[in-house]
Amino acid sequence: MSDLQRTALVMWGAMTMGVGLFAGVAAFLAAQHDWRPPPGSDQILLVFGALLLAVTAVAFFFPLRSLKGGQAEALALRRTIVGSALAEGACFMGLVGVLVVYDPRLLGATAVPFLLLLSRMPSDSRWQSIADGGEPPSVPS
């Protein structure tokens, strides 16, 4: 494992751990309200859901389309950091929505960008695939 891959793994791990801890806090606080959304929160839930979907789509496709060129390992590092950060942002947006409307459906929807964040782990096979100039495994071209 190279130094750049180790750096990417530490950064990815910190982002993943931060989202996991905040998800626990959000679920705990929302459970204190018995998961009862306030009146009129359906519109807020719809807005958060649409934003969550849009940011998750950007987190999935942006690192592949915009970050090209440069040294192989530097490219792999950039794609890992940017992709993970965008997925992390989508997770936090969904979790803040949980704290606003106390709706467990939004917590479930936050699982999608969290799974995307988990898929960004700079494993040896993923790292080598990006460094070789190809697309990471399991990502559409």
What residue ranges do the domains of the chain occupy?
Answer: 3-131
More reliable by pLDDT, 136 or 15: 15
Q: Per residue in 48-69, is it b (16+ CB within 10 Å) or e — as a string?
A: bbeebeebbeebbeebbeebee
pLDDT per residue over 5-58, tens digit each?
Answer: 999 999 999 999 999 999 999 888 888 877 777 777 778 778 877 888 888 788
Dihedral angle of Cα 48, 50, 55, 58, to the nearest 10 degrees: 180
DSSP 8-state code for residue 70: S
Give the DSSP H/E element, type plus range, for residue 99: helix 72-101
pLDDT per residue over 77-128, tens digit each?
Answer: 888 888 899 889 888 988 988 888 877 778 888 888 899 899 888 888 888 8
> With a threshold of 0.85, does the pTM exceed it?
no
